[in-house]
Amino acid sequence: MMRAIAILTTVALAAGCQSPPTYEPGTSTPEGAQPGAQPAAPGSAGSASPQAPAVPPAPPKQFHLGQASTALVTQAHAQAAAGNAPLALTTIERALRIEPDNPLLWIELGEVHEGAGNYAQADAMGRKALQLASGDPHAQSSAWRLIADSLKARGRNAEAAEADGHARALSAR
C-alpha cells in the first residue's frame, strides 16, 4: 500500500513538473499548444490564460443613518437646543437600539455629552465611534474631532492636537 502511494505521488509530481510548451518564432502556435491559445508569459509558470484585468479599488465606505434614526437625531437636536440634555441623551440612546453599530450615532451621543459638560463620556463615545467607523474616513474624522474637543476641554492640549491632526488627515482624503 505504501509503495502504491509513493508511486502515485511520484507520478503526480512528475506531471506537475513538465515544462510549458515552447514557442518557436515563425510558428503559428507553441509546440503542443491548442490553436488559438495564448503563449505563456515569461515567468508565469506556464499559465495559458490571459491575466485578469485589474480591479479598481472599492470606494471608501460611508455610513448613513436610517430613516427612524434620522428622525430621532433631529428630535434630540431640538431637545438639546432647548436645554434638555438628559432627554436628548435618551432619544439618541433609542436610536442606538435601532442601529447599535452605526458610528454616526455614537458621535451624536458624544456631542450631546460634550454639550452637557460630560467630556470624559464624550471622549469614550468618540473612541467607540472610531472603532466602528473603519473604512469611512468622514466618520473617522468626525470621531477624532469629538475626541480632540473633549481632550481640549479637559486641558489635555497635546493629546487634543494629536487627535485633531488625525481628524485633519482623514478629512483630506
Give the tens place of pLDDT for each residue, 110-157. Answer: 999 999 999 999 999 999 999 999 989 999 999 999 999 999 999 999
For residue 99, the domain's CATH number is: 1.25.40.10
> Does 135 fall in a domain?
yes
- When pLDDT is averaged across residues 154-161 and rounded to a whole number, the result is 96
24: in domain: no
What's the mean pLDDT in 14-28? 44
Mean pLDDT (the chain) is 79
What per-residue confidence (pLDDT) applies to 68? 95
Say which residue, 116 or 171, is predicted with more confidence: 116
Q: What is the pLDDT of residues 51-84, one digit of tens each?
A: 767 777 666 688 899 999 999 999 999 999 999 9
pTM across the whole model: 0.66
Domain annotation covers residue 138: yes
DSSP 126: H
User: Is 41 part of a structural domain of the chain?
Assistant: no
Residue 7 lies in a domain: no
Q: Per-residue pLDDT for 7 more than 80?
A: no
- State percent of the chain over pLDDT 70: 67
Asked, for residue 150, whether it belongs to a domain, the answer is yes
Query: From CA 129, how far away is CA 103, in angstroms rounded?
Result: 4
Q: How many domains does the chain have?
A: 1
Structural domain of residue 158, as residue ranges? 67-171
**Residue 33: pLDDT above 90?**
no
Q: What is the pLDDT of residue 60?
A: 67
* Residue spans of alpha helices (H) in the chain: 2-16, 67-81, 85-98, 103-115, 119-132, 137-153, 157-171
Nearest-Å Rg of the Cα atoms of the chain is 30
- Identify the CA nearest to 23 among candidates 48, 54, 51: 48
Does residue 2 lie in a domain region? no
Query: 24 versus 79: which is more confidently predicted?
Result: 79
In a domain, 10, yes or no: no
